[in-house]
Amino acid sequence: MDPDRQLVRLAKNGNKAAFGKLARRYRDGVLALAYDFLNDYENAQDVAQNVFMKAFKNIGDFEEKSRFSSWLFRITVNASLDARKSKIRRRKFLIKKEVYEKNGQVSAQPEWQDGIDDTLINALNKLSDHQQTAIILRYFHDKSVREIADVLDCSESTVRIHLHRAIQKLDKSLKKRK
């Protein structure tokens, strides 16, 4: 029996306290998952807040074909990927307007410095969205293949393929770095 089923039904009927219980139950997991995609605590907090607002607003659309946690984590993955893409687009435009001259050469000085040197994070970022999601959910959040399939809205065999290919790519990428 799904432990969230009764709270979900109450929340669908407008019971804010029931949704609050669901939010408290999953807030740490949503925040951790967002952080694993963004590697930035403040952005992860923003994403988590947006996830719960979106979930509250759309709880009536939740069809209960999967667990509430899978539905919520799917929202989290999508919101995290969107936030990461937005962050990348912003970085492209965060070059200072100031142009400085040094040794007779003119160049633009980047305003941001990406301090993430962690080899694993760099390798993970090279994976496709589905591969990265499968790896993060499986190995960082101990989700089963079935749970990952629910989050990605695909079959378990597709999840296994994503995991297999991701591990191959990670292995290859990490070996190059040595």
pLDDT, residue 34, reads: 95
Rounded Cα distance, 44 and 80, in Å? 8
Rounded Cα distance, 114 and 131, in Å? 23
Any idea where the domains of the chain sit in the sequence?
1-115, 116-178
- Look up the CATH number of domain 116-178: 1.10.10.10
CATH 3.40.50.740 fits 1-115, yes or no: no
Instruction: Give the Å distances, CA to CA, from 165 to 81, 136, 159.
Output: 20, 14, 10
- Helical ranges in 3-153 per DSSP H: 5-12, 16-38, 41-58, 68-92, 119-125, 129-135, 145-152
Q: What is the pLDDT of residues 114-123, one digit of tens each?
A: 433 467 778 8
> Does the pLDDT at position 86 exceed 90?
no
pLDDT, residue 84, reads: 86
Mean pLDDT of 75-95: 74
**Mean pLDDT score across all residues of the chain:** 83
Range scoring the smallest mean pLDDT among 5-9, 58-62, 86-90, 91-95: 91-95
- Structure-token match 């994403």, residue found: 47
